[in-house]
Amino acid sequence: MDLELHQVDIVGVYLQENLDEEIYMKVPNGLVEKYRSGQKFWRLKKALYGLKQAGQQWKKHLHQMMTKLSFTCAMANDCLYIL
């Protein structure tokens, strides 16, 4: 059928995606003294690896970009895009 298959393994993309909601994290112990700002929590601007929302945000962004490039999402597997 002369089909082509391209595959990408993405490792660090979870750290690049913006968050849709406000998420706060506790300041790590060693950094509280370093910054001396008295802050006990930081608001995250980007997703951290391991954050539940990180994968969801990346999948949402990927879907937007793939559909913009005229790819369609397969019904059987939403991680498969067809052109």
Contact 54, 48 (CB under 8 A): yes
pLDDT at 68 over 90: yes
Whether the pLDDT of residue 67 is over 90: the answer is: yes
pTM over 0.95: no
Question: What's the CA gap between 27 and 30, in Å, rounded?
Answer: 8
Q: Mind listing the pLDDT tens digit for each residue in 9-49?
A: 666 666 677 788 888 888 877 776 666 666 778 888 887 77
